[in-house]
Structure 1
Amino acid sequence: MTTINVPAPAVPAPTHADPAAYRSRAVRTVPRWWRDASAAAFWVVLLWVTALWVANGGVQDLGSVAGALTSTGRLTGLIASALLLVQVFLMARVPWFEQAWGQDELARTHRLVGFTSFNLLWAHIVLITLGYAAGTPTGIWGTLVDLVLHYPGMLLATAGTVALCLVVVTSVRRARRRLRYESWHLIHLYGYLGAGLALPHQLWTGQEFLASTASTIFWWSLYAACAAAVLVFRIGVPAWRSLRAPLRVASVVTEGPGVTSVVVAGRGVEKLDVAAGQFLQWRFLDGPGWSRAHPYSLSAAPDGRTLRITAAEVGDGTARLATMEPGTRVLIEGPYGRLHPGVRTRRKVLLMGAGIGITPIRALLEGLDQDPGDVVVVHRAHSRDQFVFAGELFELAREKGARYVTVEGPRVPGRDSWLPAAAAHLTDAQALGQLVPDVAERDIFLCGAPTWMDAARRAALDCGVPSDHIHLELFEY
């Protein structure tokens, strides 16, 4: 394995103030049982929806072919509607849910729920059409045209379905990789439009929506809760935080080829309850594209006066950072993420970062409460010139008594590994055990490319680290 002790370069130290009282603040972490409770609530909603279907004759209608098709179509439509609302709620950035699940896990669940809802939506359309067609002489296409043109709210529902199709098609991984983040983000907003356009159709013609007062109250409450969550936590809270802490760009620094840091400051920074390792959604009001938020982790522990982010150029949004002018107004959402000192369960910690994923790791090294020997940092990069913040990490490690190790080289060919090719003769777990012999006694914080983190996580598990002691954040949606 190629292990290099990187000397401190002749660059000025970070300009952040270092008030110990501020930096020692820990984010209050929502207990993980909140995740179990919210998952249970999710299943209760689906069971209640099914119960409404049963109570309103869903089972009795299964006696004929037309009845079975129509009744099953009603059930799939109900569950699809409920899942669509759950999907919206999952990404409403409700703080308690986000802290309990972590935004990366919420995003994965959101994706799974979304595709399930979409498949059930199409099952609903097909089954309802076939069921109605079985009882009329107009045939399938005639029935479909009649439903769309003559049933209340169906034109709006059709437009909503088209909007949802656009969102789902562009969310398929192959299509997602071909789109710029900015384009994907804009298209994804049509999901809200699709959910909203479906509402009139359901309330005007849906049997389970109108059959009883309890049904009507249930569905209206579900829609109202989701709408309130979006309005409050996606719009209201971010606007309030940005007004409470008006931020502006203080400086822009080129850290290396294609890597830029932006330092923001302003009155009220100390009021932001943000911790080292977390990320925020950032909007820079510097021209076209300002409305699309981008997730950037803090690359330095917050000191109550400034916040620093660092990003590699991978698209239009990150490219803009290099040309940002000091004084540019900044809007924020967050903080988000469970990659912070508040989730720590052990005194000893291993911090592992690869590529630009070293940014939250650098902030954690600075922000963690530690004694000499408590923290080990493993910094992975393809080549020496890609060791972002090597000098700062070296100085911080020396100051805090941490151990800083770099692992350099192109990745191992032919297998998913966190190692360079020079260490291909070792398994991932063997290499990790050699670098950090007491790894099984440590909490592990990971940040890097998804495949790299998967490999590092597997190595840690193979070394005996319990999964509850491995903390990571994914930014791939």
Structure 2
Amino acid sequence: MTTTTWEAPPLAPLTRPRRTRTRSGVLPTLWLGVLAVLAFWWTGTTASTGATPGGALMSLGELAGLLASYLVCAQLLLIGRVPWFERGIGFDRLVAWHRSLGTSVVLLVLTHVVLMIVGGSLLDGLSVWSEVPAVLATQPYLWPAVIGTILFLAVGISSARLARRHLSYEVWFAVHLTVYVGIFLAFAHQVAGGTHFVDSLVARGLWIVLYAGTAAALLTWRVALPLLAHRRFGMRVSAVVPEANGLASVWVHGHGLSRLGARGGQFFLVRFLTPGHRATAHPYSLSMAPTDDHLRFTVGALGDHSSAVADLRPGTRVQVEGPFGTFTADRATSDRALLVAGGAGVGPVRALAEELLAQGRHLVVLHRAHDAASLALAAEFTPSPGLTYVPVPGRRAQLGYDPLDAQHLLRLVPDIASRDVFVCGPPAMADAVARSARAVGVPRSAIHREEIDS
């Protein structure tokens, strides 16, 4: 198969407008919280605490426990659909930070347990093995805290990459939900047995406010508002349309959907209220610019849930959270753009292309697929003076080259250096396009990506 080339039409010279990058206050706020916990621990620790090795170890163990408790709240707020967080850094980065904090929390919890046991054994003159039953017999609410710690570890192990490969999303999600039980079980031990809380009503009050505020935010944005939106918009599945190998489009009908404020390229957490789907919400991207009465999601069959989407019946009620994501037209810095789609990434690219065209931008859409039968939504990229559609089906071994390397990308789009590059698809493909675009002179600020496993 030969490489398809496209001759760029004559366009007026462009200058890239200087884009003002908005700064988020999310990360500074999180660090301020860490500093506040450190200050709280320091001011509440007496000078005599570090006079003995056992006392020093226990004090450091208390610090590890305080930091773990604070970071758990921060971790939950990051994926709590709080608008200020999502607008500040985007849902994809929030999820990445949430995962990173999860690792930190598990390590801090383990550190807390080990230091408290070893430090206590030194102070009490007991062996480590003798210290454990002694502490369990004397510390308030410690048995529930032990169960909570075990649940924390189970969630951490289930989130490891190796475990995720062998667990379905549904099983992983069910295990993940137990973290709320773990937090509840550990909380009573903190306020009743923590050295910094026992003698300070103010400290206990502030800690309760931290946890109550976190719970209120989760209940507001993850439960109450989605339920209100469900009643307000009355969304139901109107049709399910097979598109290509492993992909299907779900059309959702509702009333006043423009009030959701969704943009092409964004996604929703979608819950279909029917057996097999009701328990979990999954991230599905819009594959068409939303209208006042319709949304469309084009879903790849990547797991049990998404594979079963093709069997949904018209009339099924739908509940959504969102929209989320920053893969939108307002990130463009030029009047010309290259959009690269792979697998289920064609959905967001299709919706984004519609919005960019409406703004008068010139687009080249490069569509990668394993074979011609997998070029979903290809018929919707109607060639026009503002749009050039370049399908590139075939695996690299069959083609004999990589159509996304710098050399071939430049042949396909000779003026790529003056374009924004939007890429949506599997992580490896997004990485390859980003590297090639940088190699041919596209500024880093003009490369925008959204990853979708496919």
Which aligned pairs between 1:38-53 and structure 2 lie closer than 5 A? 38-53=26-41
Distance in 2 between the 1:148 and 1:343 partners? 56
Distance in 2 between the 1:150 and 1:47 partners? 31
Distance in 1 between the 2:222 and 2:320 partners? 11
Q: Are 1:432 and 2:420 matched, yes or no? A: no
The 3 A distance-change label for structure 1 pair 4 and 227 is same
Q: Quick one: which of 396, 411, 418 aligns to 1:411?
A: 396
**What's 1:445 paired with?**
422
Once the two structures are superposed, what CA deviation does each residue of 1:354-401 show, in whole Å capped at 9, x if it has no partner?
1111110011111224566621111111111111111112x1x42x62
- Greater RCO (Cα-Cα under 8 Å, separation 6 or more): 1
The 3 A distance-change label for structure 1 pair 427 and 309 is closer
Distance in 1 between the 2:392 and 2:324 partners? 29
**What's 1:268 paired with?**
256
Amino acid at match of 2:28: A
**What's 1:190 paired with?**
178
Extract structure 1 runs of 4+ deviating beyond 6 A: none
* Residue pair 1:373, 1:403 contacting (<8 A) in 2 also: no
Distance in 2 between the 1:427 and 1:300 partners? 25
Distance in 2 between the 1:275 and 1:305 partners? 14
Unaligned runs of 5+ in 1: 6-29, 413-419
Deviation of 1:345 (Å): 3.1
The 3 A distance-change label for structure 1 pair 48 and 328 is same
Once the two structures are superposed, what CA deviation does each residue of 1:70-98 show, in whole Å capped at 9, x if it has no partner?
11111111111111111111110112211
Deviation of 1:117 (Å): 1.1
Which aligned pairs between 1:274-289 and structure 2 lie closer than 5 A? 274-289=262-277
Deviation of 1:59 (Å): 6.2
* Residue pair 2:151, 2:178 contacting (<8 A) in 1 also: yes
The 3 A distance-change label for structure 1 pair 246 and 76 is same
Once the two structures are superposed, what CA deviation does each residue of 1:388-427 show, in whole Å capped at 9, x if it has no partner?
111112x1x42x6211112222136xxxxxxx85324x88
Q: Are 1:133 and 2:118 matched, yes or no? A: no
**What's 1:416 paired with?**
none
Q: Quick one: which of 224, 229, 233 aligns to 1:241?
A: 229
Deviation of 1:146 (Å): 2.5
Q: Are 1:357 and 2:341 matched, yes or no? A: no
Amino acid at match of 1:110: H
**What's 2:400 paired with?**
422
Q: SS in structure 1 opposite 2:298?
A: strand
Amino acid at match of 2:428: T
Distance in 1 between the 2:277 and 2:142 partners? 34
Deviation of 1:60 (Å): 4.7
* Residue pair 1:31, 1:100 contacting (<8 A) in 2 also: no
Distance in 1 between the 2:306 and 2:372 partners? 22
* Residue pair 1:3, 1:405 contacting (<8 A) in 2 also: no
The 3 A distance-change label for structure 1 pair 219 and 411 is farther
Amino acid at match of 1:408: P
Distance in 1 between the 2:47 and 2:35 partners? 15
**What's 1:27 paired with?**
none
Deviation of 1:239 (Å): 1.1
Unaligned runs of 5+ in 2: 6-19
Identity of aligned residues (%): 38
Q: Are 1:367 and 2:344 matched, yes or no? A: no
* Residue pair 1:376, 1:403 contacting (<8 A) in 2 also: yes
Q: Quick one: which of 22, 41, 51 aligns to 1:32?
A: 22
Q: SS in structure 2 opposite 1:368?
A: helix
